[in-house]
Amino acid sequence: MNYPVNDLRSYLEVLEEAGELARVSAPVALNQQVGAICFRNLQQSGPGLLFERPGGLEIPLAADLLASRRRYGLALGVEVGDLATEWNRRAQNPLPPVVVERGVCQEHVRVGNEVDLTRLPVPTWNEHDGGPYLTLSCHVTRDPVTGVRNVGVYRNQLHDRNTLGILAGPYTHLGLQHRKAPQEPFPVAIVLGADPTVVMTAAAPVPFGTDELAIAGALRGRPMELVRCVTVPLEVPASAEIVIEGEILPDVLVDEGPFGEFTGYYGGYRMGRPVIRVKAITHRDHPIFQATYEGRQPNESGFLTSVPREAELMRQIALPGIKRVHVTVAAGGAFHAVLAVEKPYEGFGKYIGLAALGSTPGRYLKRVIVVDDDVDPFDPVAVEWAVATRVQSHRDVEVLKEVTGNFLDPSLPRQEQVGPARTSKMIIDATRYDAKNFPSVCLPAAEAMAKVEKEWERYDIPLGPRSK
């Protein structure tokens, strides 16, 4: 396989050629103006953005590059309709990364007193954010017992020139690793501006113990090249724009938050949270800082998490009959999934729903709707039609209580948002009950539909937004 994308810069070239990148040369302030531009652009389904001099700084800021399925597909060289299938085809054979001696991510090295995070164009995105935030930072860590590497995306508040806050729940993979040696400094390397596959896999719900960089290599079709960090015992993608090396310090808490989260609400109350003491910053010549706007949907997080969740649900659910899966962007790419299935017997819809909730990518799901395979799970009108006409609530709706959810869910009581995040989950079986005797769907004959489709232009009827 030979794809034109192999790092952030080649991806920007692909986006620009496809008309999916806008360069912002006008001066923009880091305090909320960048956030306001991103918000309006996302609401209009606009292109990826490259702010050329954000906050008057020399380092450009790339934002929301993966905030559409088309741009996600461009990063992988895949058609939009094939994303989940192609993800699974490639990811079934992980390619372990290889360590090389040199990488462009270390063309410039700053250690000790030379470290100054305030040189980076880190925005304060929303009005009540606790401060400037890194929002697309891929945290590379290693299990202190097994030695297995992990990469995950977590938020980082910029506290001062060498200190970052971090919010990572106890059930996150970083949290599970850190708890094995909580009284030791925990090495972390934050990668900014990597090959898009690194960002994709860092946000993907792959099982605990899976090396995301091996999956990234499989998606790209060649092993990811890594270089050893300068000050911590970790390896990072050699082609990354910027790498921040540091340690999570034991028993050190600094007030962090609130922050406008992927849910569209402020999440994570202001309270003492762990910090990363930064030991080094390395970067390429003329680095590019990459980030994403977090807030009201649609946002990049919804696309980043929905696509791999769809693929992983199809891969991890062992039951037959799943045709298509849609994890909706409107629900943050996390809380709501629609599965279209070929139903072999009554009760199969709920069976599929339970399997989805019991999978790794289903941990955050709050609602699963199962529809017949004549319903397009990506069409909200078709899904609502199925729920309205094929569901009897007493028969087809199941509610599960006291199940682990996501502590950033704003509907949870406050004690659950700062605690175990127990939530309720719902399965809606919107498949036809007693399908043999269920009324037939009314449509013109297939021949008439095909003739109209073939001759549509001669009717001179403009298609509306839903049909484009």
pLDDT tens-digit readout, 72-122: 999 999 999 999 999 999 999 999 999 999 999 999 999 999 999 999 999
Nearest to 238 by CA among 252, 248, 228, 251: 228
Interatomic CA distance for residues 254 and 165, integer angstroms: 7
249 to 21, 166, 178, 269: CA distances (angstroms): 39, 11, 11, 21
Model pTM score:
0.90
pLDDT attached to residue 1: 55
Nearest to 408 by CA among 419, 399, 394: 419
What SS3 string covers 436-452? HHCCCCCCCCHHHHHHH
pLDDT attached to residue 2: 59
pLDDT attached to residue 32: 96
pLDDT attached to residue 411: 87
Which residues in 169-229 belong to E strands, given as ranges?
186-192, 225-228
Give the residue ranges of the chain where pLDDT is below 70: 1-2, 464-468
> Which residue is listed with tokens 């692909």?
14
pLDDT attached to residue 465: 56
